[in-house]
Amino acid sequence: MECDVPTNRLPEWIRVKVHAGTRRQDVEEDLKELKLNTVCEEAKCPNLAECWHQHTATYMLMGNDCTRACRFCAIGYDKPKPLDEGEPGRVAEAAARAGLEYVVITSVARDDLPDEGAGHFAETIREVRKRLPSAGIEILTPDFNGKRDLIQVTVDAMPTVFNHNLETCERLTPPVRGRAKYHRSLQVLKDAKELSGGKVLTKSGIMVGLGETDEEVIQCIDDLYAAGVDILTIGQYLPPSRKHWKLKRYVRPEKFDEWAVYAESIGFKAVASSPMVRSSYKAGELVNAKLEEQQEEGKS
C-alpha cells in the first residue's frame, strides 16, 4: 500500500486556495440574511473559499445538529430543532440571487422525524425549480435508514442527481460511520435509480486516508459501479479536529489518478479523483460530463 505517514505538516500536493473579495462576501451576506446553513461551513470544507468566490455553496437543510455522530464529520451531534417550514423557499431565493445554474442541497440526518426529512428535500427541490426552472439540482441525502418509500419521495420531486456517499470501505464503515451500513448505502443508490425509472442520475463518493487499503478502494469502486452509480468522487480525508477519526495516510495524487483510470476502465464516465475533491466540488461539471456521454450514446 503506497502511503505517506501523516505529520503535522500538510504535504505539498494539498493546497487550499484562498479567495476574498465581493463575490465571496455576497454569498456570506445572503446566507446570513436568509438564515441558511451550508455544509461548506459546518463540515469545515477546505474548498469553501474557492467555491464561495465562484458564487456557489452547498445548502444544508434542517438545521446544523445531526442525529448521528459519524467519527469523520465535523457537523454537530445534538437534539435537532423543529423543521423550519420557510427554509425551502429561502434556499430557492439564495440560489436565485446567486444566479446558479446548478444547485447542490444536502442535510443533516434527521432520524427523529417521521419521514426523516424526505418531504423537506422534496419541497426544496420544488421551490428551486419554481425560481430556477432550467437549473440542475443535486441532492446529497442521508440513507433514510434504507426506507424505499422515503427515497421515493425525494426522487419523485425529480432532482437531476441523487447523491448518497458510501464514504469508506465495508471494514471501516461500523467504526467510522456509526449507524450507517455499507450494503444499505449501496442499496439506497440502487433504489434511487430504480424508483426514478432511471431518470435521475446517481452519485456517490468515498474518502481515503482512514485506514483502508488500496485493494479496499478498488472494491468500493467495483461495488458502486455494480449498484448502477453514474458519478464517482474520491478525495483525501482530512480530520476536522483531533477528536475525530485519526488520519492514517496522505495519498499521493498519482494514486488518485490510478483510481480514476481504473474507474473509467470499468465503465464510469464521470469521475473526480484527487486529494482536494469533495462530494459537491465542481458538481455541475461532473454532471455535464455524464449528460454529454448520454447524449452521444443516444446519437449512436
Q: Tell me the per-residue pLDDT of 130-179, one tens digit each, with 9 for 90 and over.
A: 999 999 999 999 999 999 999 999 999 999 999 999 999 999 999 999 89
pLDDT digits (tens, 9 = 90+) for 3-25: 555 656 788 888 655 544 445 56
Q: Give me the amino acid identity at 49.
A: A
pLDDT digits (tens, 9 = 90+) for 54-100: 445 689 999 989 999 999 998 888 889 999 999 999 999 999 998 88
pLDDT over 70 at 51, yes or no: no
The pLDDT of 233-246, averaged and rounded, is 93
Distance of CA 161 to the CA centre of its chain: 11
Q: Which pLDDT belongs to residue 39? A: 54
Q: Which pLDDT belongs to residue 43? A: 43
User: Helices 118-131 & 87-98, crossing angle to 10 degrees?
Assistant: 40
Among 14-18, 40-44, 101-105, 123-127, the least confident range: 40-44
Closest CA to 117 of 127, 106, 128: 106
Split at pLDDT 50, 70, 90, the class of 286 is confident
Q: What are the CA-CA distances from residue 65 to residues 43, 62, 109, 185, 241 (Å)?
A: 12, 8, 8, 21, 17
The pLDDT of 267-281, averaged and rounded, is 87
pLDDT over 70 at 257, yes or no: yes
Name the residue with cell 439564495: 94
Cα–Cα distance for residue pair 64/82, rounded to 1 Å: 12
Cα–Cα distance for residue pair 280/138, rounded to 1 Å: 9
Cα–Cα distance for residue pair 240/245, rounded to 1 Å: 9
User: Helices 87-98 & 22-34, crossing angle to 10 degrees?
Assistant: 160
Q: Which residues contact 52 (CB under 8 A, 6 or more apart)?
A: 19, 23, 24, 27, 28, 40
Domain positions in the chain are 22-299
pLDDT digits (tens, 9 = 90+) for 189-222: 999 999 999 999 999 999 999 999 999 999 999 9
CATH architecture of 22-299: Alpha-Beta Barrel (3.20)
pLDDT over 60 at 102, yes or no: yes
**Percentage with pLDDT > 70 across the chain:** 84
Cα–Cα distance for residue pair 163/139, rounded to 1 Å: 6
| Average pLDDT over the chain, rounded to an integer | 87
